[in-house]
A and B are shown apart, each in its own frame.
Chain A
């Protein structure tokens, strides 16, 4: 079946602009995760949704970052007033049980 999809693939924006990243999880996967991968660094956890439970937002680096998920479907990650340090690959993953399956990521470049 179809894997996790993310859009856009690439995004270039100017400092101070807002951006919205989208993730379509694998159908039937109740859990959805967002991670960030900055150049030369490991993956950083951002936020985790599990069913109808309150999301785990403990990884969000600042209040400029927010995410929403509608039921067990699409999620959007919004970054307000982008900064150059927000430049990274944003990866989304979904899971039904333990194993997380990742999307191709969105490459964000903030100029």
Chain B
């Protein structure tokens, strides 16, 4: 069964537009990771959030973790074609047992057209 739900599944935006991707868990998240994947490539680490209410930014990408630590959002400001790819959220500790392994959402496919 799917541990993390991502929405939307796909997103097509015009260059310059802002967008938001969501990642939701039914259980408390102990560590939430955002990755980006381009076709044929591995996952590129973007950001990690651990504390409720935490927010981190890198260039035009901002990630937030809600106070209850069950939902995270990834916001891209003034999108560019270079932002295109699949965005994946991953989390550890959902089942509170095995350390190390991450559980992933199915990803959000982002297309940015000029």
Contact = CB atoms under 8 A, between A and B. Distances in A.
Interface residues of B, number: 24
A45 B94 CA distance: 14
B42 A58 contact: no
Specify which of A41, A42, A93, A107 lies most central, judged by the most chain B CB atoms within 10 Å of its CB: A42
Contacts of A43: 88, 90, 102, 104
Interface stretch (A67-75, A78-86, A97-105): A97-105
B42 A45 contact: no
A102 B105 CA distance: 16
Nearest to A6: B42
A107 B42 CA distance: 11
Interface residues of A, number: 25
A50 interface: yes
Interface of B: 2, 31, 33, 35, 40-45, 48, 88, 90, 92, 98-107
29 contacts: A4-B42, A31-B100, A33-B101, A33-B102, A42-B88, A42-B105, A42-B106, A43-B88, A43-B102, A45-B101, A45-B103, A48-B100, A50-B99, A56-B98, A56-B100, A58-B98, A59-B101, A91-B42, A98-B31, A98-B92, A99-B45, A99-B48, A100-B45, A100-B102, A101-B45, A102-B42, A103-B42, A104-B42, A107-B40
